[in-house]
Amino acid sequence: MNTPPLPLPDLTGKVALITGANTGIGRVTARELARHGARVFLAGLSRERTQPVLDEIRSWPTLMPGSHGSSAGPQVGQAEWLPLDLGDLHSVKACVQAFLSLGFPLHILVNNAGLAGARGLSASGFEKVFGVNHMGHFLLTQLLLPKLKATASAYGSARVVTVASRAHRKAQAWNWEALQQPTRTLTGIQEYGVSKLANIWFSAELGRRLQGTGVTSYALHPGVVATEVWRAVPLPFRHLLKLRGMITPEEGARTSLFCATSAQCAHETGLYYDLCRPVLPTPLGQNPSLARALWERSEQWVQPYL
């Protein structure tokens, strides 16, 4: 499948923070935002693993070609690394403090990093995948909300994009106790579905709570993408996933980039997207009472870090 690049607006002067941007769709998202002028902060575990992305962005000419190659396009943005371990809420707070100390606005936050198939507990005491995919991003967003609101007030808008998944369909029920217990299943796929359902609830509730602030919220399914999110899934099951047909990171990043930049969805908030258009999650994913309850419990859990 040869999908053409998604046309993006000139993002010169915009600032974006992307988690898990050293590989996969996060790398493509960071690269394309920078290519169109944004200053990008790549938040992740390893500077060493992020360095190739930084080097790629920094190697580009100052001005990229225009849309027809005849004149200069947007000025290429800059790229910087921020240390971040989403499973450790102390690390999340330190990452935010490091970003805020630089004094930049924040136009785009992309909660992209994801983990599937890992087992056990996160460093902060949550089921491993839930702790990374939901709790880390919940605290990150909470701590950045004042900056996002201030940016929206000064510049007209800001966006929070959360990469969820169609795998939320695997979550047929909700068990509060399991969220603070070690992973129960062998593959961790069930827990991954729970974490992705949490992403959808979080994004919807965030959209409701930020109505009128100029900050909009988006959740999305990127497609089943051949990335390192599956690295912890036991090897035989990884082979089965590949047989089902995975798409490339470039194809998978299209909906993230659409939600982060497109004028078509600028006034939409709290919705769930697939193939660059709003779709309905499962009936459980549309439950506002559970979304609100998850938000309230998550607030209690992160209170020591606020």
Q: Which residues, at least 6 apart from 166, have a Cβ–Cβ distance to it below 8 Å?
A: 221, 224, 274
Q: Is 241 helix (H, G, I), strand (E, B) or coil?
A: helix
Q: List the structure tokens of 130.
A: 């839930």
| d(C-alpha 160, C-alpha 253), whole Å | 15
Which among 29, 16, 34 has a CA at the least distance from the CA of 76? 34
Q: Whole-angstrom distance between the N-terminal and C-terminal Cα of the chain? A: 45
Handedness of CA 182, 47, 103, 57 (dihedral sign): negative
| 192 given a catalytic annotation | yes
User: Of these residues, 155, 192, 218, 273, which one is catalytic?
Assistant: 192
Contact 88, 23 (CB under 8 A): no
> What one-character-per-residue DSSP string does 124-147 give?
TSSBHHHIIIIIIHHHHHHHHHHH
Q: Is 113 helix (H, G, I), strand (E, B) or coil?
A: coil
Which among 232, 234, 204 has a CA at the least distance from the CA of 216? 204
| d(C-alpha 87, C-alpha 84), whole Å | 9
Helices and strands (DSSP H and E) totals, the chain = 10, 10
**Residues taking part in catalysis:** 192
